[in-house]
């Protein structure tokens, strides 16, 4: 995304660990059930997660405070989320913005992205997918030139898509790479197989047995990381999903 | 049978019957009148002969003229006066002609003479013939006139009917305009037109309402589904589960996933049918196909499916979303219904795209139900809307989507409309 940080690179590197730890989020969502789930899912990691349930309270919050990322529902009871987006862009605020909408309408998607939203997610979505998308946006926003993602001994160069474990380059297939990023973004969480499968293959193909393929990707990824001398982070969770240990 | 033909047939049959009957009646009437006239002239001749004999006491001089001949013959037996049909030998023409004759007797003194007066009927016959021919000619002329007249008049009169019919034929609930009113001075057609317009408008209105309902329902369902989905995601974080519990959770996840897919498909279908997806961009179909194949390459290689592609560059102006859905549906189908170690062959050129795959089904699929809603094979875990959506997308862009079973391969062929 076309955002240029005003910070010099060495300063960025200094604040990088800090920024990675706490992310300040605003969830603008009128559906209480969904809002609470999102809040709960994000807050567990020590992120600061604020919420707004309608247009006016959302406008109030975005005019007063700054966030790393705003999760924005387009259809609000007293206004359009797109207007909040317009307002933010007019004020030249640099929040990462992820639009969530029940309308899988291309027009909304295009309008949203044209207005400067960073991503668009259609309801219903898995919280793990939301988290991965938010993480990607926050990463993009916070360190532009130096796009590296670290998780203990795992070092990922996001630009060249190179993964090093204990300094050893490991070769991952595109699906394994995408899987690894997804797992790291949701570290410490149980992610259902459905969520991972949907992330890897999209929802247009509904293969009954794609869990087998998911299993083989997980197996290969584990093997490659362990062989390179890394810890075995990926755990099977109760037979219904996986968990990436923190 | 066309109404015009039916009408023509009836009128012509009726006309011919009436005319033939009239001709027969006419023939006999004329014949009767004419033969009576001949009989009268025979009687006149007879009286002249009798008068001559009574006044002069001798037979008159015989002379033949005007197809009439008089003859006398001595006879012993009394003769009853009678008239008969006979023939007449025309001396000039030297041929027999039909004739009428009167036999009577006259007494000249003591001698009895038989008097025969023969009158040729050739003129009468000629007259009848001429009359008959004229009648026949009249029938033919009348029939031809009727036929042409009917054709022209009826075709003109029925024009509004055909205009309405053609409109009805091309009428579709989903994307047609209203039925246009016609200009007809004929009450029946005006009334029919009115009724058709009302009916079509009502059907369209009902259909729109139904579609709006489907879209709204699908849309409204998305919120509770997404709440359930997110609550499930939150719930699985809450702690250790027993095997039984995690099995239950897996089932719930799968069902919610299926519900989501189903609902998304219904929304998409409603959107396509409502023509709500209008964006257009140039799409490289060949790249789209190979990208989609790449997305599933792990699944394809996992199932040991041999993929053969023959893709010519092909550009299309269409919605990227719809094209992605279409290609992904067709390729997804080819993978989902395939067998381990099976085959997929994809061919793309300027005219068509062909997706062929081997499958569990070794017989042709039933074409009639193939593109219907919620029609799916028993083994399929899909939503049953994939092919319906594909068909709708193809219809939307004027592509033809057809299915055939060739060389043990299920083939879906998408034919593009001719360029221009």
Is residue A144's pLDDT more than 70? no
Task: Suggest the residue from B224, B227, B233 to mutate for an interface test with chain A (most A CBs closer than 10 A).
Answer: B233
Mean of pLDDT values over A100-110: 73
- Min Cα–Cα distance to chain A from B159, Å: 45
Share of chain A above pLDDT 70, in %: 85
Look at B260 and A239 and tell me if their CB atoms are within 8 Å.
no
Q: In which band, very low, low, confident or very high, does the pLDDT at A29 lie, cut at 50, 70 and 90? A: very high
Specify the CATH architecture of the domain A148-244.
Answer: Orthogonal Bundle (1.10)
**Model-level pTM?**
0.68
Nearest to B231 among A37, A203, A208 (CB): A37
Look at A128 and B276 and tell me if their CB atoms are within 8 Å.
no
pLDDT at B313: 94
Look at B233 and A40 and tell me if their CB atoms are within 8 Å.
no
pLDDT at B75: 83
Nearest to B249 among A31, A44, A240 (CB): A240
CA distances from B23 to A160, A200, B15, B143, B341 (A): 105, 93, 12, 15, 86
The interface predicted TM-score of the complex, written ipTM, equals 0.84
Contacts of B310 (CB under 8 A, 6+ apart): B345, B346, B347, B348
Is residue A14's pLDDT more than 60? no
| Chain B partners within 8 Å of A237 (Cβ) | 236
Q: Where in chain A is the domain with CATH 3.40.50.2300?
A: 9-142
- Min Cα–Cα distance to chain A from B415, Å: 23
* CATH class of the domain comprising A9-142: alpha beta
pLDDT at B66: 64
pLDDT 10s digits, A108-117: 777 888 888 9
Is A103 or B167 the better-scoring residue by pLDDT? B167
**Per-residue pLDDT for chain B (420 aa), expressed as one digit of tens each?**
777 778 778 888 888 888 888 888 888 888 888 888 888 888 888 888 888 888 888 888 877 766 778 888 888 888 788 888 888 776 666 777 788 888 888 888 888 888 888 888 877 778 878 877 888 888 888 888 888 887 888 778 888 888 888 888 888 776 667 778 887 788 888 888 889 889 888 888 888 888 778 778 877 888 899 999 999 999 998 888 888 888 898 889 888 888 888 888 888 888 887 777 778 889 999 999 999 999 888 888 888 999 999 999 999 999 888 999 999 989 988 988 888 899 999 999 999 999 999 988 788 887 777 787 776 665 565 677 888 899 999 998 999 999 999 888 999 999 999 875
Q: Which three-class secondary structure string do you get for A118-174?
A: CEEEECCCCHHHHHHHHHHHHHHHHCCCCCEEEECCEEEECCCCEEEECCEEECCCH
pLDDT at A6: 47
Nearest to A206 among B228, B241, B382 (CB): B382
Look at B232 and A240 and tell me if their CB atoms are within 8 Å.
no
Task: Suggest the residue from B226, B231, B320, B323 to mutate for an interface test with chain A (most A CBs closer than 10 A).
Answer: B226
Look at A110 and B229 and tell me if their CB atoms are within 8 Å.
no
Look at A123 and B222 and tell me if their CB atoms are within 8 Å.
yes
Look at B247 and A207 and tell me if their CB atoms are within 8 Å.
no
Look at B271 and A41 and tell me if their CB atoms are within 8 Å.
no
| Chain B partners within 8 Å of A128 (Cβ) | 233
Look at A216 and B257 and tell me if their CB atoms are within 8 Å.
no
Q: Which three-class secondary structure string do you get for chain B?
A: CCHHHHHHHHHHHHHHHHHHHHHHHHHHHHHHHHHHHHHHHHHHHHHHHHHHHHHHCCCCCCCCECCEEEEEEECCCCCCCEEEEEEEEECCCCEEEEEEEEEEEEEECCEEEEEEEEEECHHHHHHHHHHHHHHHHHHHHHHHHHHHHHHHHHHHHCHHHHHHHHHHHCCCCCCCCCCCCCCCCCHHHHHHHHHHHHHHHHHHHHHHHHHHHHHHHHHHHHHHHHHHHHHHHHHCCCCCCCHHHHHHHHHHHHHHHHHHHHHHHHHHHHHHHCCCCCCCEEEEHHHHHHHHHHHCHHHHHHCCCEEEEEECCCEEEECHHHHHHHHHHHHHHHHHCCCCCCEEEEEECCCEEEEEECCCCCCCCCHHHHCCCCCCCCCCCCCCCHHHHHHHHHHHHCCEEEEEEECCEEEEEEECCCCC
| Chain A partners within 8 Å of B260 (Cβ) | 124, 203
Mean pLDDT of chain A: 83
| Chain B partners within 8 Å of A192 (Cβ) | 232-233, 236, 249-250, 253
Q: Which of A131, A132, A164 is nearest to A148 (CA)?
A: A164
Nearest to B227 among A31, A217, A237 (CB): A31
Share of chain A above pLDDT 90, in %: 38
Is residue A2's pLDDT more than 70? no
- Min Cα–Cα distance to chain A from B308, Å: 20
pLDDT 10s digits, A186-216: 988 999 988 998 898 886 556 555 678 888 8
Look at A124 and B222 and tell me if their CB atoms are within 8 Å.
yes
- Helices A127-142 & A32-43 angle (0-180, nearest 10): 60
Nearest to A127 among B219, B234, B260 (CB): B234
| Chain A partners within 8 Å of B228 (Cβ) | 124
| Chain B partners within 8 Å of A241 (Cβ) | 236
């Amino acid at each position: 995304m076309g955002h240029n940080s005003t910070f010099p690179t060495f300063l960025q590197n200094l604040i990088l660990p800090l920024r990675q730890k706490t992310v300040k989020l605003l969830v603008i969502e009128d559906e209480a059930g969904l809002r609470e789930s999102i809040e709960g899912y994000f807050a567990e990691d020590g992120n600061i997660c604020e919420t707004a349930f309608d247009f006016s309270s959302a406008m109030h919050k975005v005019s007063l405070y700054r966030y790393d990322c705003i999760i924005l529902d387009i259809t609000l009871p007293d206004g359009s989320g797109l207007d909040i987006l317009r307002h933010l862009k007019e004020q030249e605020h640099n929040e990462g913005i992820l639009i969530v909408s029940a309308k899988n309408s291309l027009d909304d998607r295009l309008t949203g992205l044209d207005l400067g939203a960073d991503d668009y997610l259609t309801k219903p979505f898995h919280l793990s997918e939301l988290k991965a998308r938010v993480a990607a946006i926050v990463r993009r926003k916070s360190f532009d030139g130096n796009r590296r993602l670290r998780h203990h001994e795992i070092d990922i160069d996001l630009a060249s898509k190179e993964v090093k474990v204990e300094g050893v380059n490991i070769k991952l297939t595109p699906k394994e790479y995408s899987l690894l990023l997804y797992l790291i973004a949701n570290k410490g969480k149980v992610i259902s197989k459905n969520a991972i499968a949907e992330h890897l293959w999209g929802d247009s193909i509904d293969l009954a047995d794609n869990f087998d393929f998911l299993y083989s990707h997980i197996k290969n990824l584990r093997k490659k990381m362990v062989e390179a001398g890394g810890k075995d982070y990926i755990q099977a969770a109760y037979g219904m999903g996986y968990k990436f240990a923190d | 049978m066309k109404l015009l033909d039916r009408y023509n047939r009836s009128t012509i049959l009726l006309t011919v019957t009436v005319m033939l009957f009239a001709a027969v009646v006419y023939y006999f009437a004329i014949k009767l009148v004419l033969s009576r006239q001949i009989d009268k002239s025979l009687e006149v001749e007879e009286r002249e002969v009798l008068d001559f004999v009574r006044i002069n006491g001798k037979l008159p001089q015989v002379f033949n003229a005007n197809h009439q001949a008089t003859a006398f013959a001595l006879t012993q037996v009394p003769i009853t006066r009678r008239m008969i049909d006979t023939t007449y030998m025309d001396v000039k023409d030297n041929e027999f002609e039909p004739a009428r004759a009167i036999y009577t007797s006259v007494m000249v003194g003591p001698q009895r003479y038989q008097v025969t007066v023969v009158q040729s009927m050739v003129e009468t016959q000629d007259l009848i013939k001429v009359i008959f021919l004229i009648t026949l000619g009249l029938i033919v002329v009348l029939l031809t006139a009727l036929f042409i007249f009917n054709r022209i008049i009826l075709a003109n009169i029925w024009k509004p009917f055909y205009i309405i019919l053609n409109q009805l034929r091309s009428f579709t609930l989903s994307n047609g305009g209203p039925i246009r009113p016609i200009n007809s001075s004929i009450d029946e057609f005006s009334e029919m037109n009115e009724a058709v317009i009302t009916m079509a408008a009502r059907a369209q209105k009902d259909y729109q309402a139904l579609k709006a309902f489907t879209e709204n329902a699908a849309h409204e369902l998305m919120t509770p589904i997404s709440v359930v989905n997110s609550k499930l995601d939150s719930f699985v974080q809450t702690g250790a589960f027993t095997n039984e519990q995690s099995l239950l959770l897996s089932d719930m996840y799968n069902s919610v996933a299926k519900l989501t897919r189903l609902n998304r498909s219904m929304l998409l279908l409603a959107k396509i049918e409502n023509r709500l997806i209008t964006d257009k961009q140039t799409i490289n179909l060949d790249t789209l196909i190979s990208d989609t194949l790449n997305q599933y390459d792990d699944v394809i290689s996992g199932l040991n499916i041999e993929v053969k592609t023959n893709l010519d560059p092909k550009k299309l102006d269409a919605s990227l979303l719809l094209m992605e859905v279409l290609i992904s549906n067709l390729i997804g189908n080819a993978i989902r219904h395939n067998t381990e170690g099976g085959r997929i062959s994809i061919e793309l050129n300027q005219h068509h795209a062909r997706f062929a795959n081997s499958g569990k089904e070794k017989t042709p699929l039933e074409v009639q139900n193939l593109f219907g809603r919620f029609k799916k094979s028993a083994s399929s875990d899909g939503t049953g809307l994939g092919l319906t959506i594909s068909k709708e997308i193809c219809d939307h862009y004027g592509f033809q989507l057809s299915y055939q079973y060739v060389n043990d391969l299920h083939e879906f062929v998408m034919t593009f409309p001719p360029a221009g």
